[in-house]
A and B are shown apart, each in its own frame.
Chain A
């Protein structure tokens, strides 16, 4: 009679658990994959160590221009010109005003997550831009700072924020108009959207900065920044309209009919039933569109406004600081990345919050 002895359980082979398993499954699952992994490692080896060397180890972090000896990044340039990169020509003594406006913005964005009362929310959305505007531009006892003094990151954020906040409602109205049953409204909306989408943003900005002033006679001055803002807002509105239309068309016909059969008016049906669903499914596209707007704002440099990118070339034309383009561009790249990445993360959190498909 055979005796069965229970074998002791052996440990799993080293390669089928933990780090090694992960490596095998993800990086070395077959020959092609392994080759690509090795190739990737090689590229990382080529790029990362020199980059770290340049950016951190060999970099010059302090001292004066004359003391530079290393070959690495000369960050002292950024420190020297930091105020211009962030505030443009905004008077130094008044930097607290844009700072405060920025603080309020952060507070405003965060508060949107906690306040659930729609009326308070809408109230905040209406009041917040006014407070920020007064803080930055002046009035009500604050010294007035003309727009040609605005610049740098402050201008970038301002243009993007105005573009996003103002174009959003216009875009929704355009999207609804495009689907309207009233022929004139529909035609006008389609004409506007297709016209704007048919021309590049640069053309619109040039129109606003070069052609428009010729129509006004001397003496009537129409702020250059305002002209650019109007151009950018109209441009963005047309794109928002198309994104929202995509959302509207994705809502099943039954939802529209349900709204009708409940006896809701057009606006009631839209606001209470259709739009909340349509906007929810449009969030990824909307944020994508906002991120691309944030990056597009830099086009204002072609009409002589100094956004953060234009500041790189301006600060590099200072005869005492010639030849620091690379540091400037790397710095601005990091700024753009931080903002765009934050926006996309924020959008993900909103998507999760409004996700009702359990």
Chain B
């Protein structure tokens, strides 16, 4: 019996999480690599180029965190995750941060043991219409025919929107998103609806991208942002402030090309951002030049946006509500001081 008890005890100590108190930051530094959960391919957000290198707005966030923490934006191990396994991978510690276009909702934030550290892209449901309709606003969509994927939240939002505005639409329903787009391509309907970030990708896939346009209206809220495990506030701060730092850099006009010169700037905000004064880095448990590394190696938010989804990319997504607060958008980095 005694042997059994000892065996049981040994077994338990192995099985029960021995609650080693290593923080995520310590683990990342020890491994010298950031494990970042990304998608299995979302155009502009996380995807690979022809050389197999990960690129995108979400990928740049991973790179920024690695630059801030490890001083090297390339020290990232990308873990591609499907929508179903993404949160488990974070809960189980397989990844340190999830940057996979995940919508910040109450249920996810409160019931999964996870925290959303911010928003790096304000997405929302929009409309892609055939230019032949000759309309420029969603308010003129009364009586239009929609290609819809059955049973999705986009369908619900569409119904709600048309009910609330007192308009009517005809629906052609499909099973998969691929079929839905095909239906639109073949002219079975006047418009399709999906998250705005997707619509621009769909537009490129049209035989003639110039024959369709994305309407300016957004009818649902889909704030996408990085997610971390609950209960490690230090790491939460690092992810949140890395995101703020790249936005702050844009606001202050610090770019990857002028950051070297900006080190000599006498603007107090720039000095605090780049760590020439103040203790922002130290307070986060990072080096003083954490934000300098982010801007130097990855660039500020605008650079990332333009390169991967904006005007310098094939997607050409309008900045829209993702502009900085002082330019009419929602991006509002908290002050670093």
Contact = CB atoms under 8 A, between A and B. Distances in A.
A138 to B, nearest CB: 16
B111 interface: no
Nearest to B45: A317
Given A302-B82, A302-B84, A319 B93 contact: no
B49 A320 contact: yes
A318 B91 contact: no
A287 to B, nearest CB: 31
- Size bin of chain B's contact surface: 35 or more
A106 B51 CA distance: 28
Main DSSP-derived SS at the B contact region? loop
B67 to A, nearest CB: 21
A30 interface: no
B79 interface: yes
Interface centre among B16, B44, B52, B79 (most CB of A within 10 A): B52
Contacts of B49: 318, 320
Contact of B52 (A88, A209, A316): A88
Interface in A201-255: 206, 209-211, 213-219, 221, 224
- Size bin of chain A's contact surface: 35 or more
A319 B41 contact: no
Interface string A12-50: 000000000000000000000000000000000000000
B304 to A, nearest CB: 13
A209 B43 contact: no
Contacts, number: 105
Contacts of A84: 48, 50, 52
A219 B92 CA distance: 9
Contacts of B204: 319, 322-323
Interface string B34-67: 0000001111100111111001000000000000
A323 B205 contact: yes
B307 to A, nearest CB: 10
Contacts of A105: none
Contacts of A206: 84-85
10 contacts: A80-B50, A148-B78, A206-B85, A213-B94, A218-B93, A219-B93, A303-B82, A320-B314, A322-B205, A322-B314
Given A80-B50, A213-B93, A325-B178, 20 more contacts: A83-B52, A84-B50, A148-B77, A214-B91, A216-B92, A217-B16, A217-B93, A218-B93, A219-B93, A224-B94, A304-B79, A304-B80, A304-B82, A306-B40, A318-B49, A320-B314, A321-B50, A322-B201, A322-B204, A323-B204
